[in-house]
Amino acid sequence: MKTIKLSCTNISIQTACAVLFLGTFTVTTATEPCDDFGECKVLIEINATDGDIGFHFLMDGDDLNSARIFDPNGRKVFEDMAKGALKEQKLTETFVESAEPLCWADPEADEDDEIVFLEEFLERWAEGPYLFTGSGDNGEKSFGETELTYKLPAAPIDLDFDGEVISWDAGDDLGNCASAADLDFLVSDGPLTVHPEDVEVDAWEIVLEPDVEDGNPLGALKFTIRVAGDILPREVSVPSEYLDSLLEGTPVKIEVGAIGGGDNATFSEVDDFCVTDDGECPEE
């Protein structure tokens, strides 16, 4: 992934680096060393608007020929092995996203689409410690351990873009994945011990993605920024240098993610804004 820095100054504790990303963007970041691994992380990511859910993980080791992950019940859930030229080159960082099945009965979905409701998903992915292991050339072993939690931050709501500023608010459910009533049941009689509205948001991730014609070199550029979870008001300004690079009236999608509970993330999105003075799209 190629990264083009737009600005990256330590402005304050509430403001993170603003970066333009060329290519696929992912929220997963490991935040501290993981025993013998430089990094490791497992997390749950939910798209509350589309209503899908996935399991993501990241590991970063040194000169590995193979790597494995085991869930809290000791079951192997991932194995990667280098062969041929890659075995000579070695493995280091590995990031994987699972498929993201629907977590609700979307009436517009194809009848063949898989549906994995939240309770089923949590039964599939046990809460607790996930063991990472790796092997090197001479039998060197690497071990690391990280926690998967069921602390799922609530989906952001009231996303807005006024042409310069993206704003949002904190929600109390998981959008199409689980209503407040569903979550009340899962807390009282199911696997959740903390209601999403009570999960502390460590950071908000905000993304503006333009919809431009194929072949336009700006088509893969996204504006993204992370800010602290306690930022008030909940809003960020999009740099004018970036907006000026897009044609007037360019349609844009706004995404806001709540990140907390061990880097679990819940995203909401709106795609009916445009690059105009007020963010409204011109009438056709």
CATH number, span 39-148: 2.60.40
Domain residue ranges of the chain, discontinuous segments joined by +: 2-29+151-274, 39-148
- Do the domains 2-29+151-274 and 39-148 sit in the same CATH topology, yes or no? yes
Q: Determine the pLDDT at residue 2.
A: 32
Residues with Cβ within 8 Å of residue 71, at least 6 apart in sequence: 77, 125, 126, 128, 130
The pLDDT-based confidence of 13 (bands split at 50, 70, 90) is very low
In this predicted model, what pLDDT tens digit does every residue of 217-228 receive, in sequence order? 666 689 999 999
In this predicted model, what pLDDT tens digit does every residue of 199-219 receive, in sequence order? 999 999 999 999 877 666 666
CATH number, span 2-29+151-274: 2.60.40.10
Q: Give the global pTM.
A: 0.86
Q: Which residues pair with 115 in a beta bridge?
A: 102
Is there a contact between 254 and 149 (Cβ–Cβ < 8 Å)? no
Q: Rounded to whole angstroms, how far apart are CA atoms 258 and 204?
A: 5
Nearest to 97 by CA among 38, 66, 54: 54
SS3 at position 148: strand
